[in-house]
Amino acid sequence: MKVTNEKIEDSQAFLSIEMEPAEVEESLEESYHRLVKKTDVPGFRRGKAPRAILERYLGKESLLEDALNSLLPKACRKAIEEQKLEAIVSPSIEIAQTDPVIFKAIVPLRPTVKLGDYHHIQVTPEPVEVSEDDVSAIIDRLRHQYATWEPVERPVGFNDLVVLDIESNVEDKPFINRKGAQYQVLQNYSFPVPRFGEQLLGMKRDEEKEFQLQFPPDYPKGELAGKEAWFKVRVSEIKQERPPELNDEFAKEVAPDIESLGSLRERIYSNLQVRAEEKARLDFEERVVQAAADVTQLEFPPVLVEMEIDRLFSQRLQRWQAAGGGLEEYLRSINKTEKEIREELRPLATKRTTWSLVLEEIAEAEKIEVSDSEIDAEIESMVKDTDEAKKDELKGLLNTPQSRESIKQKLRTRKTIQHLVEIAKGSNMGSLSNPSP
């Protein structure tokens, strides 16, 4: 075996490996003995066909492919050892030619992280502001939530709730066919087809109407995109929203433990303040981590980003599968290909990979550790709201070595971020108390 280290770039070693004919022949012989035992060759008992006969039956290329599938990973591992490389994940292998056998291997190496002066990062916290308009917007939303719908004798208008009998088809195939369907007529609402609601405007109770609408070319359900739908509708009832009066009774309906509208506004203000502070805290932490990343020199193999994209994509898919859908249905629902989604996820995956490597290096530099007692406390926090019958089972799962290590890494990252936050806040205090002349 001849190994050439062609270059090292982007934390990747690019190897060219040429196999000796004897090595390939040995692997071919091993493949022959492996395949002959599970291949039925006409005229021979299983396991008894000579190699030349098996090659003619399966094809010489098939035997070579099987041999190389076994040989190349072993040869690659040996080449990595010879070159004294430290691969962090399995290398990618590509066959360049088969006579002689030469293959290329891209070996992902350990990232290089050179921390900058993160001890003097400066990030200014954003002020947390909750206005009376924010409170009023929540109150208005609650009024809609607790509104009643009363029948009216007038033509359909925007925001009305209409009861419809619907017949429809797309290219003579049934589409939506329902009696007594409830539909709120909203502006710029694209369900079931853009401009459907507008067709109902002005209709009176018991009136019928037929119309045709075209699905847009970018309609999420690809099988309907660009096609024309025929509808026949009959309005059987028109209802108008009646929001409750803004008074103490409304406040009590929203929250029985509240006595007045003023108290409701105070509670909403307090809840908004808590949420705004939490959002500001998370935003500040992200900007602090980014500030540390900005002063860090970093190089890592692209495969780490691909692995993070895999993880993010799997999370999306799992949420969809929890609702009973599969990959094809998910892609159809958003009218995108898997490749398009992966590219959309790339910036986020790159950022997360960068931050993870920077935080890990800072944790090492600052000797940030997590004790067993801290892991135990975190597990207790994770199970505290679990049903008592299942609490012990969940604790058992969380106490496995793998889970404890995962929790340890999460806590270590959290402590590292908090350490950076304290640095950033200290830097801000310093800059405020010692202004430049």
- 170: CATH: 3.10.50.40
Task: Please give the Cα distance from 243 to 147 (Å, whole number).
Answer: 4
pLDDT in tens, 287-303: 999 999 999 999 999 99
pLDDT at 436: 37
CA distances from 180 to 163, 192, 290 (A): 5, 16, 54
Q: Are residues 347 and 300 in the same domain?
A: yes
pLDDT in tens, 312-333: 999 988 888 877 778 888 787 7
The reply to whether 257 falls in a domain is: no
Q: Are residues 324 and 385 in the same domain?
A: yes
Give the residue among 22, 73, 5, 9 at the shortest CA–CA distance from 299. 9
Of 110, 128, 158, the position where a domain reaches its end is: 110
Residue ranges making up the domain that contains 58: 2-110
Q: Are residues 410 and 282 in the same domain?
A: yes
Query: How crowded is residue 376: how many other Cβ atoms within 10 Å of its Cβ?
Result: 15
Which domain CATH number covers 329? Answer: 1.10.3120.10
**Which of the four pLDDT bands, split at 50, 70 and 90, describes residue 428?**
low
What is the SS3 assignment for 129?
coil
Q: Are residues 84 and 152 in the same domain?
A: no
Task: Please give the Cα distance from 42 to 56 (Å, whole number).
Answer: 12
User: Token pair for residue 15?
Assistant: 């190897």
Give the residue among 98, 102, 110 at the shortest CA–CA distance from 75. 102
Task: Please give the Cα distance from 90 to 79 (Å, whole number).
Answer: 13
3-state helix, strand, coil in the chain (%, to 5): 50, 20, 30
Q: How many degrees, rounded to 5, is the angle at CA 76 between CA 75 and CA 80? A: 120
Which residues does residue 9 pair with via DSSP β-bridges, in sequence order?
12
How many structural domains does the chain have? 3
Give the residue carrying structure tokens 């399995």. 90
Q: Are residues 304 and 403 in the same domain?
A: yes
What's the rounded mean pLDDT across residues 369-387?
93
What is the SS3 assignment for 79?
helix
Omega within 30 of 0 (cis) for the link into 50: no
Q: Are residues 356 and 291 in the same domain?
A: yes
What's the rounded mean pLDDT across residues 250-270?
95
The reply to whether 131 falls in a domain is: no
CA distances from 69 to 32, 42, 108 (A): 13, 26, 20
Is 422's pLDDT higher than 70? yes
pLDDT in tens, 64-94: 999 999 999 999 999 999 999 999 999 999 9
Q: Are residues 89 and 47 in the same domain?
A: yes
Is 385's pLDDT higher than 90? no
pLDDT in tens, 174-216: 999 999 999 999 998 988 999 999 999 999 999 999 999 999 9
Of 242, 268, 301, the position where a domain reaches its end is: 242
Q: Are residues 310 and 371 in the same domain?
A: yes
**Which of the four pLDDT bands, split at 50, 70 and 90, describes residue 432?**
very low
Q: How many degrees, rounded to 5, is the angle at CA 155 between CA 150 and CA 156? A: 70
pLDDT in tens, 127-146: 999 999 999 999 999 999 99
pLDDT at 426: 82
CA distances from 193 to 180, 186, 189, 218, 232 (A): 19, 13, 8, 12, 14
Which domain CATH number covers 95? Answer: 3.30.70.1050
pLDDT at 327: 82
